[in-house]
Structure 1
Amino acid sequence: MDFLQLSGRRILVFGVANKKSVAYQVAQQLEAVGAEVVYVVRSEERKAQVAKLLDRVANPSLAGKARAIYVCDVEHQSQIDALAANLKSDFDGFWGLVHSIAFADYSDGMHPFHETTRRQFLQAIDISCFSLIALAGALQDQLDPSGSVVTISISTTRMASESYGFMAPVKAALDSSLAFLTKSFSRFSEVRFNAVAAGLLKTSASAGIPGYVDAYLYAERVIPRKRALHTEEVASTATFLLSPRSSGIASQSIVVDAGMSTNYFDHDVVSDAMRGA
Structure 2
Amino acid sequence: MTEKTINTRLLDSLRTQREHGRKLLAGKKGIILGIANDQSIAWGCAQAFRSLGAELCITYLNEKSRKFTEPLAKVLDVAPSLYLPCDVREEGQLEAVFEAIEREWGRLDFALHSIAFAPREDLHGRVTDCSREGFLMAMDVSCHSFIHMAKLAEPLMKDGGALFTMSYFGAEKVVENYNVMGPVKAALEATSRYLAAELGPKGIRVNPISPGPIKTRAASGIGRFDELIEKASERAPSHVLATIEDVGMATAFLASDYAKLITGDTVYVDGGYHVLG
TM over 0.5: yes
Alpha carbons of structure 1 residues 221 and 30: separation in structure 2 relative to 1, 3 Å: same
Q: Is the CA contact (8 Å cut-off) linking 2:167 and 2:185 kept in structure 1?
A: yes
- Percent identity of the aligned residues? 27
Is 1:114 the counterpart of 2:132 in the alignment?
Answer: no
| Equivalent residues in 2 for 1:182-197, closer than 5 Å | 182-186=196-200, 189-197=202-210
Q: AA paired with 1:18?
A: N
> Shift of the alpha carbon at 1:107?
4.3
3-state DSSP of counterpart to 2:164: strand
Q: Please give the TM-score of this superposition, normalised by the length of structure 1.
A: 0.85
3-state DSSP of counterpart to 1:151: strand
Structure 1 residues 155-210: Cα deviation after superposition (integer angstroms, max 9, x where no partner): 342322232121011111111111221222245x1111111111111112111222
Is 1:176 the counterpart of 2:195 in the alignment?
Answer: no
Q: Which residue of 1 aligns with 2:20?
A: 2
Aligned with residue 148 of structure 2, among 125, 134, 137 = 134
Alpha carbons of structure 1 residues 29 and 175: separation in structure 2 relative to 1, 3 Å: same
Structure 1 residues 97-153: Cα deviation after superposition (integer angstroms, max 9, x where no partner): 011111121247722220011111111110111001011112321124321111111
Query: Which stretch has the larger CA shift, 243-252 or 217-226?
Result: 217-226
Q: Which residue of 2 aligns with 1:273?
A: none
Q: AA paired with 1:203?
A: T
Displacement over 4 Å in runs of 4+: 64-67
Q: Distance in 1 between matches of 2:102 and 2:172?
A: 39
Q: Distance in 2 between matches of 1:108 and 1:114?
A: 10
Number of aligned pairs?
A: 258
Q: Is the CA contact (8 Å cut-off) linking 2:209 and 2:267 kept in structure 1?
A: yes
Q: Is the CA contact (8 Å cut-off) linking 1:144 and 1:191 kept in structure 2?
A: no
Q: Is the CA contact (8 Å cut-off) linking 2:58 and 2:73 kept in structure 1?
A: no
Q: Is the CA contact (8 Å cut-off) linking 2:37 and 2:43 kept in structure 1?
A: yes
> Shift of the alpha carbon at 1:73?
0.9
Q: Is the CA contact (8 Å cut-off) linking 1:99 and 1:151 kept in structure 2?
A: yes
Alpha carbons of structure 1 residues 45 and 159: separation in structure 2 relative to 1, 3 Å: same
| Equivalent residues in 2 for 1:65-80, closer than 5 Å | 68-80=82-94
Is 1:254 the counterpart of 2:273 in the alignment?
Answer: no
Q: Is the CA contact (8 Å cut-off) linking 2:213 and 2:232 kept in structure 1?
A: yes
Is 1:219 the counterpart of 2:232 in the alignment?
Answer: yes
> Shift of the alpha carbon at 1:90?
2.5
Q: Is the CA contact (8 Å cut-off) linking 1:15 and 1:41 kept in structure 2?
A: yes
RMSD (CA atoms): 2.1
Q: Which residue of 2 aligns with 1:267?
A: none
Alpha carbons of structure 1 residues 259 and 185: separation in structure 2 relative to 1, 3 Å: closer
Q: Is the CA contact (8 Å cut-off) linking 2:193 and 2:206 kept in structure 1?
A: yes
Q: Which runs of 5+ in 2 are unaligned?
A: 1-18
Structure 1 residues 20-48: Cα deviation after superposition (integer angstroms, max 9, x where no partner): 11110111111111110110222233234
Q: Is the CA contact (8 Å cut-off) linking 2:123 and 2:179 kept in structure 1?
A: no
Q: Distance in 2 between matches of 1:22 and 1:15?
A: 8
Q: Which residue of 2 aligns with 1:20?
A: 39
Q: Which has the higher helix share?
A: 2
> Shift of the alpha carbon at 1:66?
5.5
